[in-house]
């Protein structure tokens, strides 16, 4: 089976989203890895700590080894938009026809990178996040999970299991 890359923020990523999605994906035989800005331990919004497998710069050099790239949400995830390396990973993943996913506020990172332009997507139901999508030519829909081609987006932690299953189903179709 293939590999899935999770991009998480250095702090305040949503631990529940990551653990639930990771479990769903790994149960089907896929391997997973995590990347963030620095290779130091990351702290989730519930206090969960994780040491990332690689930095986003390292991940960008290895994008061909991954079948999907997923940006995990949480209060810290919008900060990922400050790093061109994150946008580069997403752009290269799109160019190579990889599955690209985002959950919760992580979807705003996808929108700002430009990879979701013209696509249907959902995000956390907060005004500023919806505005980010609309400002970047994304067709916002208030649903728990949306699949539009190779793109899978989810509303938030409550949609994590459904999101993980949709990632797997989308991988099977490609």
CATH number, position 38: 3.40.50.880
Contact 37, 88 (CB under 8 A): no
pLDDT at 174: 81
What is d(CA 26, CA 159) in angstroms, rounded to the nearest whole number? 17
* pTM greater than the 0.85 cutoff: yes
DSSP element (H, E) containing 2: none
| Regions in the chain scoring below 50 on pLDDT | none
User: How far is CA 157 from each of CA 90, 93, 121, 163, rounded to the nearest angstrom?
Assistant: 22, 24, 16, 9
> Residue 172: CB partners within 8 Å, gap ≥ 6?
none
pLDDT at 60: 93
Within 29-173, where are the H helices?
56-61, 84-95, 106-113, 127-135, 160-173
**Nearest partner of 68 among 90, 88, 84, judged by Cα:** 90
> Residue 16: CB partners within 8 Å, gap ≥ 6?
46, 157, 160
Grouping H, G, I as helix, E, B as strand and the rest as coil, residue 105 is: coil
Contact 16, 157 (CB under 8 A): yes
* Residue 74 per-residue DSSP state: S
Q: Which domain holds residue 113?
A: 3-173
Q: Please tell me the total count of domains within the chain.
A: 1
Token pair recorded at residue 94:
């799109």
pLDDT at 146: 98
């Amino acid at each position: 089976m293939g590999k899935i890359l999770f991009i998480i923020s250095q702090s305040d990523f949503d631990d529940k989203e990551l653990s639930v999605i990771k479990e769903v994906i790994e149960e089907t035989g896929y391997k997973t890895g995590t990347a963030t800005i620095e290779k130091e331990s990351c702290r989730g919004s519930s206090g969960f700590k994780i040491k990332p497998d690689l930095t986003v710069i390292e991940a960008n050099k290895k994008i061909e080894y991954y079948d999907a790239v997923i940006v995990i949400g949480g209060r810290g995830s919008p900060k990922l938009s400050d790093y061109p390396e994150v946008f580069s990973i997403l752009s290269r993943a799109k160019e190579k026809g990889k599955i690209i996913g985002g959950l919760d506020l992580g979807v705003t990172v996808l929108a700002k990178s430009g990879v979701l332009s013209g696509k249907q997507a959902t995000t956390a139901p907060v005004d500023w996040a919806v505005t980010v999508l609309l400002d970047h030519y994304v067709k916002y829909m208030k649903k728990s999970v949306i699949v539009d081609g190779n793109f899978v987006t989810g509303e938030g932690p409550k949609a994590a299991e459904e999101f993980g299953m949709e990632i797997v189903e989308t991988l099977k179709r490609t």
